[in-house]
A and B are shown apart, each in its own frame.
Chain A
Amino acid sequence: MLTKEDFFCDFENKWCPGCGNFQILDAMKEAFAEMDLSPEKLLIVSGIGQAGKTPHFFKCNFFHGLHGRALPVATGAKIANHDLTVVVSSGDGDCYGEGGNHFISAIRRNIDITLLVHNNKVYGLTKGQASPTSDIGFQTKMQPHGVIAESFHPLTAALAFGAGFVARGFSGNKAHLNQLIQKAIAHKGFSMVDIMQPCVSFNSVNTHAWYKKRAYDLADKNHDTTDIDAATALSRKWGDEIPIGILYQKESSSYTDRIDHLDQGPLIGFTYEKERVQQQIDNG
């Protein structure tokens, strides 16, 4: 039986003390341990931002690539070897800003990977600019009169694009988040968990206490996770009460299920066959 210590990595952590990322990191390790996903079997792909650094604080295979591009890297890795468990660790700027097009397309492909978005509604690594999920009116040094664009609603968007697993977690409820991550990984097809987290350095509005007062668990409310209209209505809820948990879940065949030949095994398992290639050449 694995424990979260099996994922321990002595690499110096570079997050601010009190950052919500610490609870997310812990919840991830606990979820992987409880699922018996050993470090050798796991691949974490990340982009750039504070969330992008997450895999460095893990013992497991990882690829830490470019800003906004974690999803295409993860998609390529999954296509090459669909036996891999691929988890993407991204942030609100990385995933919904720089990588917005990839977010749409990963959902449409229903590629069987799990996307965890550390959503603190602000840019941390570049020191406090507004993010796509910052609320209208949110003031920063770059937006001194407040954000003038509407906030991006990732869960509403994900539902509209046809995502089969749409959930929201909260870094302040680690046990709940752990369970969500496990369900997301177990889901066949694309799964996403948008994780509300405070930024202690650059977001003085959406604090830990602010979220704690508002978050309520959908599991306590008899929400039907197969009801897309109810899920869509919930995805728009923001303000005094914010639902956490699984908003919507529906399984369908994933991208690699839909590709010929891959039912015989992962792409990486096929070896060069001279005769077949020569035949293509000779076909003219």
Chain B
Amino acid sequence: MSVDITVTIGGAAGQGIQTVGDLLAQVCQKAGLYVMAINDFESRIRGGHSFVQIRISDHEIFSPRYEIALLVALDRQTVLLHQNKIPDGGIILSGESFDDAQKPITAVEFDKLAEEAGGKITANTVAAGSCLALLGAPFEFLKDILAARFGAKDSSVLEKNIKAAELGYQAVAETEFKWAFAWEKGPEKGLLMNGTKAIALGALAADCRFASFYPMSPATGVIRNLTEMTEHIPFVVEQAEDEIAAVNMIIGASFAGVRSMTATSGGGFCLMTEGLGLAGIAEIPIVIVNAQRPGPATGLPTRTAQGDLLFVINASQDEFPRFVFAPRSVSEAFTDTIRAFELSEKYQVPAIILTDQFLNDSVFLTTEQFTAPSSVPRFIAADADLDDPENYHRFAVTESGVSPRALPCRGKAIVKSSGNEHLEDGHISEDKDNRTRMVNKRNAKLEAMTGEMNGPEEYFEDAEILLIGWGSSAGAIKEAVDLLRDKDIDAGCLTFSDMWPFPAEKALAAADNAKKCVTVELNSTAQFKRLLRQQTGIHCAGSILKYDGRPLFPQDIIEEIDRFL
């Protein structure tokens, strides 16, 4: 039997729904299942409505589903907001019953059982116990996870939690659940990973040593992970006074020779754009993570979007080459981060990693191996690599546009850099011929940079309807293709992660046999459709657009596909 179940745990911020979600995900991982979980929350610390939605499956999954088989409601709001997504046979598990519930409620007195176990704080463990009992999971699985989670603490904490889990488990032992299935133990299929953690690991694997940031959702998690991971590794994290300082600090650190990064969201990226241009003209490698959320201005701080694509490609005045990567998955968030550091340094240009709240905050069980590279190539010139270090010119014109990059105070070569237009030696110049030469020098990098870009991933690319998307919505698009094909609709997809310089030739080759192209994007003006047209001439029949701040579900595509049949 095929397993594919969605469990939603909802409540107010501060009720600990995350804990229930984590426990379920870990138990599933131990059992050799696949999971993915989205975190949906408001911009507040207490109250309101938040939920964790976990999809459990026996095959790898990359997107959430609408239909909820099991709803764990820690408050009434959760019942009202989610009960319409519960099909027949689904269960609402709640500590109390509500008059306005339209679906049957299985009551488990989470708080009372928690107090019986030794403290109200264990109510979430009670809920996790009930969920797993309904799903048919052996109790031992949960016990093992609790031991790993609380084992290091005072032994009474673990005892209370095991007791709480047991009480929750027994409370529904007699309840029949249509989606219960036979659980087996392991083997584990892979790592539980979210985007922020994957980017932080990628940064370490690229030998990044400095991160400067100003807190902003949904980017802060990248820095939090870096901070936790570098407790025993020489690495400096500095909370800057603002995003302008953050980007200028990493420019200074990178100029001095240390690989450096910052992470922000659209509003902070706006403040960084002058610095981005400085890195462009002064040819300083830096990596900026822009985790998208809906805007403009403050927009929806804790929600997701893909509205910054054209902005980051064009951000800052005038023109200069840059890289933009939009990872499609957590494993690609890891590898794209490594690539961003390497290519940024190789071509001495800024690199932007364009993620979003969905990829940053969602947890995926990934089968990809996360492997630290055996060495990290550096693209730095020491005195010995230079013909005449005493007459070093930082911006020497070369055919490739890339000048040998010496570091200040590391030898005889004196490094002079300016954000004003400059001569090859770094001094300011307003000479018209020099200006043209320097613009050409910087732009000369574009050809080789374009060669570094990967084309789209192809999936039934010769189909009648070709869905085209980018970044983190790739998972939902691919799954929509499967669902459409099950309905005998000849659909396929192309999904992009390497956004700029745009891999136009590879895109054209991939779309060679396309009959009808439709972009799928989380913005209101079909930014990728426009970019694709601009860079390749490919004409799309239209777009499926979603901009309510929520992640893309395969169903969003299915519901709109009729327009294109």
Contact = CB atoms under 8 A, between A and B. Distances in A.
| Size range of the chain B interface in the assembly | 35 or more
Given A66-B248, A104-B241, A281 B370 contact: yes
Interface in B250-267: 250-258, 260
A268 B201 contact: no
Contacts of A270: 209, 234
Contacts of A53: 428
Top 7 nearest A-B pairs (CB, nearest first) are A76-B252, A72-B248, A61-B408, A76-B249, A73-B252, A76-B253, A80-B256
A17 to B, nearest CB: 19
A259 B275 CA distance: 26
B489 interface: no
B253 A65 contact: no
Interface stretch (B320-328, B414-422, B541-549): B414-422
Interface string B99-129: 0000000000000000000000000000000
A281 B374 contact: no
Contacts of A264: 234
Contact of A83 (B212, B254, B409, B427): B409
Given A72-B240, A105-B245, A61 B428 contact: no
Contacts of A277: 201, 204-205, 372
Given A281-B201, A284-B192, A79 B249 contact: yes
Interface of A: 11, 39-43, 45, 53, 55-56, 59-66, 69, 71-81, 83-84, 101-102, 104-105, 259-262, 264, 267-268, 270-272, 274, 276-278, 280-281, 284
Nearest to B212: A76
Contacts of B407: 268
A75 B241 CA distance: 12
B255 A40 contact: no
Given A11-B427, A274-B374, A280-B229, A262 B244 contact: no
B234 A262 contact: yes
Contact of B240 (A66, A74, A105, A276): A105
Given A270-B209, A280-B201, A66 B275 contact: yes
B395 interface: no
B375 interface: yes
B428 A45 contact: no
Interface of B: 191-192, 201, 204-205, 207, 209-210, 212, 229, 233-236, 238, 240-242, 244-246, 248-258, 260, 274-275, 278, 282, 370-376, 407-409, 411-412, 414-420, 426-428
Given A65-B419, A272-B376, A277-B205, A73 B255 contact: yes
B248 A76 contact: yes
18 contacts: A45-B252, A56-B416, A62-B415, A72-B240, A72-B244, A74-B252, A76-B212, A76-B248, A80-B258, A101-B242, A261-B234, A268-B209, A268-B407, A272-B207, A274-B374, A276-B233, A280-B233, A281-B201
Nearest to B198: A281
Contacts of B260: 76, 80
B214 to A, nearest CB: 11
A77 B255 contact: yes
Contact of A81 (B240, B244, B257, B416): B257
B375 A274 contact: yes
B409 A80 contact: no
A56 B207 CA distance: 33
Contacts of A284: 191-192
Given A270-B209, A277-B205, A79 B238 contact: yes
Nearest to B232: A276
Contacts of A271: 207
Contacts of A64: 417-420, 428
A52 to B, nearest CB: 9
A66 B427 CA distance: 15
A20 B416 CA distance: 24
A62 B411 CA distance: 14
B377 to A, nearest CB: 10
A280 B371 CA distance: 11
Contacts of B192: 284
Given A72-B249, A76-B212, A278-B372, A66 B274 contact: yes
Contact of A267 (B234, B248, B274): B234
